[in-house]
Amino acid sequence: MGVVNVTPDSFSDGGEWFEPSAAIKHGRELLAEGADLLDVGGESTRPGAERPAPAEELRRVLPVIEALAAEGALISIDTMRADVAALALDAGAVMVNDVSGGLADPEMLGLVAARNTPYVCMHWRGHSADMQQRAQYDDVVAEVVAELAVRLEAISEAGVDLNRVALDPGLGFAKNSEHNWEVLRRLREFAVLGQPLLIGASRKAFLGRLLADEETGEPRPAVRRDDASAAVSALAAAAGAWCVRAHAVAPSADAVRVARRWGAV
């Protein structure tokens, strides 16, 4: 899954693809690098980010979705808003990637059920403004699994076909670095939920802290975390992940191929 951030304040690229023409060009580049899906989003979910108005979110994403879908790309709309998801599906998106798992908008699950669209449900405890205050766990994996199980029940009760649902443990969302590493170390434990797993580790802050400058202690900048991101992609694929979400597609696509071959030996 290649990431197309149509935002002015993304942690990973600083708004480099904010203009629709730049985002469309970037989407084409990610497809050429081997992306199977493009995840188009108009709201930054970095810690502390403020939410754009729904109209602004739509203004950002719809031209990009329309253009790339018209060229045959498979598009996932990265949104927590049902109204945005509905218009994105009308514009050509084929999947909804909801980082709130249906908690941010009570209309979302009904929309997904009515449209019978594939849906990614992420583990979520609150919006970006204060989500890191909720990073409190006794056993992060057990609690994330349990909370995702509750979301699956709600998704099923809303009439969504669970055969069209994937789960995301939400690395970096209401989780500190140690929580993220624990989730990755114990990724196979999520198999108990019986759903495909999407892993979004690409360029995240916990990798920057791991790769911090030895002299200054400064975390490595986001755009220099792609090698580490590819390493996580390989390990996640080897642990059975269905999909990895990547800002730089080519390294992660190669890493997934290596993991697949490794497992076939």
Please tell me which residue in 115, 204, 224, 260 is annotated as part of the active site: 204
Instruction: Say how far apart CA 166 and CA 55 lie, in whole Å.
Output: 28
Please tell me which residue in 225, 245, 260, 261 is annotated as part of the active site: 245
Instruction: Say how far apart CA 235 and CA 181 lie, in whole Å.
Output: 12
Burial level of 160, CB count in 10 A (0-12/13-18/19+)? buried
Closest CA to 94 of 30, 32, 37: 37
**In which element (H, E) is residue 166 found?**
strand 165-168
With tokens 């080519």, the residue in question is 250
Instruction: Say how far apart CA 185 and CA 179 lie, in whole Å.
Output: 10
In whole angstroms, how far apart are CA 45 and each of 151, 155, 181? 20, 22, 20
Q: Is 119 left (phi over 0), alpha (psi -120 to 50) or beta?
A: beta
Question: CA 97, 99, 103, 106 torsion: positive or negative?
Answer: negative
Q: Is 245 a catalytic residue?
A: yes
Note whether 11 and 41 are within 8 A (CB).
no
Enzyme catalytic residues: 204, 245
